[in-house]
Amino acid sequence: MLFLLFEIGSDRYCLDVSRVVEVTAMVSFRKIAQAPAYVAGLISYRGTIVPVIDLSVLLGGDPSRPLYSTRIILVEFEGTDGTDHILGLLAEKVTETVSRREEEFQQAGISVKEVPFLDRVVFDEHGMIQRVETERMLPEGVRKQLFAPAAEIE
């Protein structure tokens, strides 16, 4: 399997590229009033409004810095109603991919309720890489806010 690497601080993470639609440069966001701090805002992607999550903030850090390697990773994301959406993930140092077999990933040995999307790790010559499971990333309430079915908006 192929995984896209990114960094938050000095920690490395990866996500399965089969969920990735596109990786694009960082652009300006439209802020969402009263949204959780990790919701960076909204962007337009090919005529579709896409919410963007700042992974640095989501994982308890400072907002992503506007580096040349800071990117928006557009991923397929299932809403609470079962329909597919696009979700943007803002991250730093999005520059590499790595190929790993599923069986190479090990349980981290600790489960933190607030971050159920982080669990398994793999190692390479530079150290540990933790896997991000995008489908478990957002709490149901936030998923409903960001991807409300049209019938609920009216």
The residues spanned by each domain of the chain are: 2-148
CA atoms within 13 Å, Cβ hemisphere of 52: 27
Q: Kindly calculate the radius of gyration of the chain based on its CA atoms and give it in whole angstroms.
A: 15
Write the CB contacts of 95 (distance below 8 Å, at least 6 apart in sequence).
Answer: 5, 69
Give the tens place of pLDDT for each residue, 8-54. 988 999 999 998 999 999 988 999 888 889 999 999 999 999 999 99
Which pLDDT score, from 0 to 100, does residue 149 have? 63
Instruction: Give the tokens for residue 135.
Output: 């489908």
Give the tens place of pLDDT for each residue, 63-111. 999 999 999 999 998 877 788 899 999 999 998 999 999 999 998 877 7
| DSSP SS3 for 136 | helix
Assess whether pLDDT exceeds 60 at residue 150: no
Which pLDDT score, from 0 to 100, does residue 135 have? 85
Please give the CATH topology (third level) of the domain spanning 2-148.
OB fold (Dihydrolipoamide Acetyltransferase, E2P) (2.40.50)
Following CA atoms 1, 135, 33, 51 in sequence, which dihedral angle do they give, to the nearest 10 degrees? 50
